[in-house]
């Protein structure tokens, strides 16, 4: 539909876009000129007005203007430049870690300065670190911006300025965009024209955006994106029902045997979900089921029951975990449970040498190995199966949609596709799950195994670390084990590991009677495995770890969890981390260490953690907190990547969206492809097409 317009052309057709730049744009899913228009801002900077220093609050990103009072170079371990300014209402310090001599002299007393940056609290004072600034000629101050300045999602080496310039170019052609919403929806909801919405989103006037959040103008785009998503999901579901899978009708005698050997009985919820899965596996079309169960609800056992059903029917199973650590743990559990049944588990790891792997791979190809456990190494490497019948993906929020489909594709045997089971601990309300994962059926394990005592959570400031260390000593005297999780906001894994090493050293010093282990992402698989095994067996009392232990690790004797820098972490991640304790009969506790003073949102997050352990409640609060503030609606629910809509926040639109979807399918089928092409992301490989191919 876009044919013969500039919008349809590759971005390289635009002025100044060479190969290097179009590659970078490609990483953002921007391939054609039209994609630029739908590359929507993450947030806005307000350079339209000057704030008085007295009105500043920490975490605000604002424009300030004042006169320089004094400039000094100080040395606190490193040299820095401090420039103190005042504006008649208060004082603000600008802090520079890198500066030139010329810069130092230009920031002289009495000079007027305008700066833009994030305000932060330093002791009792406010400051800005490395603000953008300009020195002003008092008689002729430069004008302020008329519109808010958008900040776009970007990638390394791609400047905001470049994105803004290209998007402005693309906006000249916004008129050529075809209308894809059905007329009835346009009429009923009185949506403004598409061009108008895009203009405003890319160049918003301050007032129209109520505090930087998208106001009414975004609704139309949200609606359109939800519609595209809905249509995509429907198509995917239809496509899956067109293909064949092996109907596994034999009795699951392995499961009967394992159930009797287990020291506990499956919960009613586990039993129900297992029978839902069994029913799917008996059908001649591929199962495509999502199992959701809060941390500790016993998803592994459900996965094992499903695997055994496939194996009892003569098929092989692939079980994929998001991290090596988790894959190793699954492997050990499975081996322990399945070996007595004569079921052979094979561990495929990214860390294995080609030689180590060859035997294992051969066994899978010959059908001697029944179940393969691993990370994505399972489908990246040359692993082939004799008869793959079922793929299980654990903690799926770490896997993208396209990985799921690539895996299914890989398991294809003749006309038959494998069944697929996806397990997640991310709590998603049911109605939402039906939309977000509308291509899948959905089961919930809504019950925890009996005998668990709730976890007590406290938030302590870093000044009370000594108390925490004392608690660790006490726990270990009682024969309990402890996790200490080091988290850093920095993306760098190297830094994370270094921090964890330092902490481990310190704790070893302070707790000489305790065996302290350390796991982080830079250890070799075998080394990690050894330490985890020692912790599991109780040879180590304290495990210092980076967030590699976030998902799935299971050591029931661990009853104390300490999380550092808790104020910087998201609720979902904190909930996952805390879920590592409270798995045994003893009362467990969780200490959230934070650096004071706490921001408002951080305080609310920690409060939520203290007052509830219910994953659904936490998910709701998380949503509420994220919904506020300046972040626009790019919330991610599981692996559903949406540009502007949020399936949670915007769920009240879903009935209307469904009506519109039916309207499109019945009356405007030619718009279907254009809609999904416009909205579904093309990041890396072509997700949109894969969506339909599978």
Point out which residues pair with 637 in neighbouring strands.
640
Q: Is 449 in the site for ligand ADP (CB under 6 A)?
A: yes
At 532, phi and psi to the nearest 5?
-60, -40
Helices 654-667/217-242 angle, 10° precision: 60
Contact between 400 and 639 under an 8 Å Cβ cutoff? The reply is: yes
Among 45, 219, 252, 297, binds ligand ADP (CB under 6 A): 297
Q: Indicate which of ligand ADP, Mg ion, none lies near residue 588 (CB less than 5 to 8 Å, by partner kind).
A: none
259 versus 641: smaller Cβ distance to ligand ADP: 259
Which residue lies nearer to ligand ADP by CB, 90 or 449?
Answer: 449
297 binds, among ligand ADP, Mg ion, none (CB under 5 to 8 A by kind): ligand ADP
The size of the chain, in residues, is: 694
**From the list Mg ion, ligand ADP, none, which binds 45 (C-beta under 5 to 8 Å, kind-based)?**
none
Catalogue the E-assigned strands of 549-633. 558-563, 589-594
Q: Does 554 engage in binding with ligand ADP (CB under 6 A)?
A: yes
In whole angstroms, what is the distance from residue 337 CA to residue 238 CA? 37
Are residues 391 and 418 in contact, defined by beta-carbon separation less than 8 angstroms?
yes
Single out the residue of 218, 219, 270, 323 in contact with ligand ADP (rule: CB under 6 A). Answer: 270
Cα–Cα distance between 290 and 41 in angstroms, integer? 32
Q: Which residues contact residue 430 at a Cβ distance below 8 angstroms, ignoring those fewer than 6 apart?
A: 442, 444
- Contacts (Cβ under 8 Å, ≥6 apart) of 265: 259
376 contacts 323 by C-beta, under 8 angstroms:
no
Contact region with ligand ADP (CB under 6 A), list: 191-199, 289-297, 490-498, 685-693 = 289-297
C-beta of 193: minimal distance to ligand ADP in Å?
48
Shortest Å distance, C-beta 321 to Mg ion? 8
446 binds ligand ADP per the rule CB under 6 A: no
Min CB(675)–ligand ADP separation in Å: 37
Say whether residue 411 binds ligand ADP (CB under 6 A).
no
From 298, 322, 374, 638, residue interacting with ligand ADP (rule: CB under 6 A): 298
d(CA 616, CA 274): 22
DSSP sequence for 532-568:
HHHHHHTS-SEEEE-GGGSSS---TTEEEEEETTGGG
- Of the candidates 66, 232, 266, 369, which one interacts with ligand ADP according to CB under 6 A? 266
Least Cβ distance, residue 609 to ligand ADP (angstroms): 18
Q: Which stretch binds ligand ADP (CB under 6 A): 181-189, 294-302, 507-515, 539-547?
A: 294-302
Taking a C-beta distance cutoff of 8 angstroms, is the pair 307, 371 a contact?
A: yes
Nearer to ligand ADP, 270 or 352 (CB): 270
The item of Mg ion, ligand ADP, none sharing an interface with residue 295, based on CB under 5 to 8 Å by kind, is ligand ADP
Q: Does 299 bind ligand ADP (CB under 6 A)?
A: yes
Binding pattern for the stretch 90-119 against ligand ADP, x by CB under 6 A and - elsewhere: ------------------------------
Q: Between 616 and 668, whose beta carbon lies closer to ligand ADP?
A: 616
95 and 134 Cβ atoms separated by less than 8 Å: no
Smallest gap from Cβ 362 to Mg ion, in A, equals: 29
CA distances from residue 186 to 15, 181, 657 in whole angstroms, order as listed? 35, 7, 12
Contacts of 275 (CB under 8 A, 6+ apart): none
Q: Give 333 or 595: the residue with its C-beta nearer to ligand ADP.
A: 333
**R_g of the chain, CA atoms, integer Å:** 28
98 vs 131, 166, 303, CA distance in Å?
12, 31, 54
Which of these ranges, 111-119, 295-303, 385-393, 630-638, lies near ligand ADP under the rule CB under 6 A?
A: 295-303
Span from 138-146, 158-166, 260-268, 605-613 in contact with ligand ADP (CB under 6 A): 260-268
How far is residue 390 CA from its own chain's centroid?
Answer: 26
Q: Which of 29, 150, 246, 293 binds ligand ADP (CB under 6 A)?
A: 293
* Min dist. Cβ of residue 395 to Mg ion (A): 6
Other CB atoms within a 10 A radius of the CB of residue 514 amount to 18
Interface residues with Mg ion (CB under 5 A) are: 299, 552
Two structure tokens written together for 610 = 């203290």
Q: Which residues bind ligand ADP (CB under 6 A)?
A: 264, 266-267, 270, 293, 295-301, 425, 449, 552, 554, 556, 583
């Amino acid at each position: 539909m876009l044919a013969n317009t500039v919008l349809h052309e590759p971005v390289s057709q635009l002025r100044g876009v060479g190969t290097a730049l179009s590659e970078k744009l490609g990483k953002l899913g921007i391939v054609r000129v039209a994609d630029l228009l739908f590359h929507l801002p993450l947030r806005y900077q307000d350079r339209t007005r000057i704030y008085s220093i007295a009105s500043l609050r920490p975490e605000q990103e604002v424009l300030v203007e004042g006169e320089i009072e004094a400039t000094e170079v100080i040395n606190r371990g490193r040299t820095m430049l401090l420039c103190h300014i005042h504006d008649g209402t208060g004082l603000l310090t600008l802090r520079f870690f890198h500066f030139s001599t010329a810069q130092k002299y230009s920031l002289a007393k009495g000079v007027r300065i305008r700066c833009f940056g994030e305000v932060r609290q330093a002791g009792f004072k406010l400051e800005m670190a490395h603000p953008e600034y300009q020195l002003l000629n008092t008689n002729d101050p430069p004008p302020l911006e008329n519109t808010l300045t958008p900040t776009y999602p970007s990638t390394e080496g791609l400047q905001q300025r470049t994105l803004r310039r290209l998007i402005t170019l693309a906006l000249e052609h916004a008129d050529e965009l075809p209308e894809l919403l059905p007329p009835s929806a346009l009429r009923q909801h009185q949506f403004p024209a598409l061009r108008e919405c895009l203009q405003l989103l890319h160049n918003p006037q301050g007032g129209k955006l109520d505090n930087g959040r998208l106001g009414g103008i975004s609704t139309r785009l949200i609606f359109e994106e939800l519609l595209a998503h809905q249509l995509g999901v429907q198509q995917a579901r239809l496509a899956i029902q067109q293909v064949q899978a092996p109907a596994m009708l034999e009795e699951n005698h392995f499961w009967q045997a394992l159930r009797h050997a287990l020291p506990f009985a499956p919960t009613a919820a586990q039993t129900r979900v297992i029978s839902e899965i069994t029913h799917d596996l008996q059908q001649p079309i591929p199962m495509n089921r999502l199992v959701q169960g809060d941390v500790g609800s016993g998803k592994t056992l459900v996965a094992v029951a499903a695997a055994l059903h496939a194996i009892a029917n003569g098929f092989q199973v692939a079980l994929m975990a998001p991290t090596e650590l988790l894959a190793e743990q699954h492997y050990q559990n499975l081996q322990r449970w399945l070996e007595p049944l004569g079921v052979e588990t094979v561990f495929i790891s990214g860390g294995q040498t080609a030689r180590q792997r060859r035997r294992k791979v051969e066994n899978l190809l010959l059908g001697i190995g029944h179940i393969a456990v691993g990370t994505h190494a399972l489908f990246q490497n040359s692993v082939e199966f004799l008869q793959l019948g079922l793929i299980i993906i654990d903690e799926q929020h770490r896997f993208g949609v396209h990985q799921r489909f690539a895996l299914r594709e890989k398991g294809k045997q003749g006309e038959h596709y494998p069944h697929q089971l996806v397990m997640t601990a991310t709590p998603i309300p049911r109605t939402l799950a039906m939309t977000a994962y509308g291509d899948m059926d959905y089961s919930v394990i809504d019950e925890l195994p009996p005998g668990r005592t709730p976890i007590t959570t406290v938030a302590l400031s870093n000044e009370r670390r000594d108390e925490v260390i004392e608690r660790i000593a006490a726990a270990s005297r009682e024969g309990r084990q402890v996790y200490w999780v080091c988290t850093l906001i920095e993306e760098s894994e190297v830094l994370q590991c270094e921090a964890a090493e330092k902490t481990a050293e310190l704790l070893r010093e302070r707790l000489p009677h305790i065996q302290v282990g350390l796991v982080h992402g830079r250890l070799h698989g075998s080394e990690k495995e050894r330490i985890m095994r020692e912790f599991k067996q109780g040879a180590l009392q304290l495990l210092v770890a980076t967030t590699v232990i976030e998902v799935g690790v299971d050591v029931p004797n661990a009853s104390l969890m300490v999380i550092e820098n808790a104020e910087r972490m998201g609720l979902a991640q904190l909930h996952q981390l805390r879920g590592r304790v409270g798995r045994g009969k003893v009362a467990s506790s969780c200490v959230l260490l934070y650096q004071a003073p706490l921001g408002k949102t951080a305080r609310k997050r920690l409060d939520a953690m203290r007052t509830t352990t219910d994953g659904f409640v936490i998910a709701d609060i998380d949503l509420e907190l994220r919904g506020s503030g300046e972040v626009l609606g790019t919330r991610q629910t599981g692996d559903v990547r949406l540009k502007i809509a949020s399936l949670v926040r915007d769920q009240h639109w879903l009935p209307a969206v469904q009506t519109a979807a039916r309207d499109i399918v019945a009356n405007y089928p030619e718009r279907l492809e254009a809609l999904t092409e416009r909205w579904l992301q093309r990041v890396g490989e072509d997700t949109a097409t894969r969506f339909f191919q599978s």
